[in-house]
């Protein structure tokens, strides 16, 4: 597969991934989400700060931008890619994750890309999604800590891909293409963990917040009022 079939999907993914759903939704409601809670633009902070509706919209947008980027690349490059189409999907997905983490529209700042990574998984290997979502929900229910569930969930991406790959689920993909898929899913998983480094530090100190759906922050009223 040519270098162009790697770079172009990566760039397309990056542009879509850079769209900061949570930030835009909050801004439309007169709030700079980066000034509240953890300062993160993802689902957890928007939901905690602005309510369930904001969290659901952010989740859908962050998930959907990866789906759209990958679908577009499939449409554009399916003939040229051939058996390497799954690799093209992952390059677009990696671009979307990079865009979310280092958004072109937020001076290369962003979130943790867990929902975006889930969108990548949905387009690359949808049969992996139930285990990932199940693991995430189980951990969050047991611990009430979203960061732990997110770390476990994103880790399952590369683990499942290697297991299913060795079991032949991705046939007739060549061995070379399969190894490239392992590398790309590994990068996405590691990035998801690394982006939680501050959460991991707080977990080690016993200071990580447990997730609850309470009232919207009072500070939001002050911000909206000037």
Q: pTM of the predicted model, to two decimals?
A: 0.91
The number of folded domains in the chain is 1
- For residue 38, cis peptide bond before it (omega within 30 degrees of 0): no
Looking at the domain assignment, is residue 24 inside a domain? yes
Cα-based angle 71, 170, 167 (whole degrees, multiple of 5): 150
Q: Is the pLDDT of residue 226 over 50?
A: no
pLDDT digits over 110-160, tens only? 999 999 999 999 999 999 999 999 999 999 999 999 999 999 999 999 999
Confidence of residue 211 (pLDDT cuts 50, 70, 90): confident
pLDDT digits over 78-97, tens only? 999 988 999 999 999 999 99
Looking at the domain assignment, is residue 223 inside a domain? no
- Exposure string of 99-137, with b = 16+ CB inside 10 Å and e = fewer, is bbbbbeeeeeebbbbbbbbbbbbbbbbeebbeebeebbe
Q: What would the DSSP string read from start to end of 154-185?
A: HHHHHHHHHHHHHTTTTTT--HHHHHHHHHHH
Specify the pLDDT at position 217: 52
Looking at the domain assignment, is residue 222 inside a domain? no
Domain that holds residue 193: 4-215
Looking at the domain assignment, is residue 144 inside a domain? yes
Say if residues 146 and 118 touch (Cβ distance below 8 Å).
Answer: no
């Amino acid at each position: 597969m040519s270098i162009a079939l790697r770079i172009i999907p990566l760039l397309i993914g990056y542009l879509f991934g850079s769209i900061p759903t949570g930030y835009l939704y909050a801004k439309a409601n007169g709030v700079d989400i980066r000034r509240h809670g953890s300062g993160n633009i993802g689902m957890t902070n928007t939901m905690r700060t602005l309510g369930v509706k904001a969290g659901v919209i952010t989740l859908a947008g962050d998930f959907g931008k990866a789906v759209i980027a990958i679908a577009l690349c499939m449409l554009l490059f399916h003939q040229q890619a051939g058996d390497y189409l799954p690799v093209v999907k992952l390059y677009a997905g990696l671009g979307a994750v990079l865009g979310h983490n280092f958004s072109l529209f937020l001076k290369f700042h962003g979130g943790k890309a867990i929902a975006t990574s889930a969108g990548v998984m949905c387009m690359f290997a949808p049969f992996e999604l139930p285990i990932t979502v199940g693991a995430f929900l189980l951990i969050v229910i047991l611990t009430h800590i979203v960061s732990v569930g997110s770390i476990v969930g994103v880790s399952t991406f590369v683990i499942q891909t290697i297991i299913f790959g060795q079991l032949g689920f991705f046939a007739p993909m060549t061995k070379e293409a399969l190894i490239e898929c392992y590398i790309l899913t590994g990068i996405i998983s590691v990035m998801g963990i690394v982006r939680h480094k501050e959460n991991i530090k707080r977990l080690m100190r016993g200071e990580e917040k447990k997730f609850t759906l309470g009232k919207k922050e009072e500070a939001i009223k002050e911000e909206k009022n000037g």
